[in-house]
Amino acid sequence: MKGVSPISFMAEHPTHSVETPAQKIFDHTGESLSRCYQCGKCTAGCPMSEEMDITPSRMMRMLQYDDPAMEEEALRSYSVWLCLTCGTCLARCPQEIDIPGVMDFLRTESLRKGMMNPSAKNIVSFQKSFIDSLRLTGMLYEVGLVAGYKARTWKLFQDMSLVPWLFLKGKLNLLPHRVKDRKTVKKIFRETVK
């Protein structure tokens, strides 16, 4: 914990004009992080915690600080991208904190500020390719998605062995389906994705 400011933390009741991390999360998700009493049950049950750099309960603790450095560390973490939003943490949290909701918010913030963790390149690329596919057709077009993902990650040969098999089994459509009402899909993306 570098550069921890004196006891000006424990956000929720901001003393400065700048929004604290916890306040921002409260404004966007309605989740009050001061409810977290650090029992660690989320970390204990998280299927990803052993792969994470910052486990869920530690992430909650970091965000309780009124410290921009700590916030940035959270946004730059691998964990925000490793969260599968499986919801196990919320289902068992004694304080009913919507951690998947908080993680969603951190992901969108990390994207917005361009603070994505370099190790998460694959995951971010996959998500971007997925969204591109949606933006284009209104549907998930699996061939397009995988092609876009491979172009982004240069993982040209990964999974290539599966492709002919999938094709043979009739599981790949070579041409995308499209939503006819293109206007609405475009409008949705225009108004929600900044």
Partner 1 sequence: MSRTGYYPGCSLKGTAREYEESLLAVAEKAGRPLAEIADWNCCGATAAHGTSHELAIALPARVLAQAITGGMEELLVPCSGCYNRLMVTRHELSRDPALRDKISKMIGADLKTPVRILNVLEWLETILAPGTEDPDHVADQDPGQDPPRGDIPVRDDVPTQGDALKPDHDSGHSDAGDHDPDPVRELITHPFNHKVACYYGCFLTRPVDVLKPDSAEYPMAMDQLMERAGATPVDWEFKVECCGAAFAVSRTTTIARLSGLILENAVRRGAEAIIVACPLCHANMDLRRDAIQKERNREIDLPVLYLPQAIGLAMGIEPRQLGLHRHRVPVTFSLNPRNGAPDQKPEPRTAKQPA
Partner 2 sequence: MSRIGIFICHCGENISGTVDCGRVAGECGNIPGVTHSVDYKYMCSDPGQTIIKEAIRENRLDGVVIGSCSPRMHEKTFRKACADAGLNPFLCEMANLREHCSWVHEKSDATTDKAISLIRILVEKVKRNQPLQPIRVPMTKRALVIGGGIAGIQASLDIANAGHPVILVEREPSIGGHMAQLSETFPTLDCSQCILTPRMVEVAQHPNITLYTYSELESLEGFVGNFKARIRKKARGIDESLCTGCGLCTTKCPTKKIPSEFNTGLGQRPGIFVPFPQAVPNIPVIDQENCRYHLKGKCGLCAKICPTGAIRFDQEDEIIEAEIGAVVVATGFDVLKTDFFPEYGYGRYPDVITGLQFERLASASGPTMGEIRRPSDGKIAESVVFVACAGSRDAAKGKPYCSKICCMYTAKHAMLYKHKVHHGQAHVFYMDIRAGGKMYDEFVRRAIEEDHVNYLRGRVSKIYEEDGQLVVKGADTLLDHRPVEIKADLVVLATAGVANNGAEELAQKLHVSYDAYNFFAEAHPKLMPVETNTAGIFLAGACQSPKDIPESVSQASGAAGKVSALFGQRKELERDPMVAVVNRTAPPLFSTCMGCFLCESACPYHAIEKEEIRGRNGDLIKTVAKVNEGLCQGCGTCVALCKSKSIDLMGYSNQQMYAEIKAL
* Chain residues that interact with partner 2, rule: CB under 8 A: 37-46, 49-50, 54-58, 61, 88, 92-96
Q: Is the dihedral of CA 167, 157, 130, 25 positive or negative?
A: positive
| Distance of alpha carbon 15 from alpha carbon 101, whole angstroms | 26
In 3D, which of 107, 97, 79, 101 has the Cα closest to residue 39? 97
Residue 94 interaction partner, one of partner 1, partner 2, none, beta carbon < 5-8 Å per kind: partner 2
Q: Is the dihedral of CA 113, 24, 82, 62 positive or negative?
A: positive
The residue within the footprint of partner 1, chosen from 1, 87, 94, 186 (CB under 8 A), is 87
Residue 138 interaction partner, one of partner 2, partner 1, none, beta carbon < 5-8 Å per kind: partner 1
Structure-derived torsion over alpha carbons of residues 103, 104, 110, 112, reported in degrees to the nearest 10: -160
Write out the residues near partner 1 by the rule CB under 8 A.
28, 47-48, 51, 82, 84-88, 90-91, 98, 100, 104-105, 107-108, 111, 122-123, 125-127, 130-131, 134, 138-142, 146, 149, 159, 162, 165-166, 169-173, 177, 179-181, 184-185, 187-189, 191-194
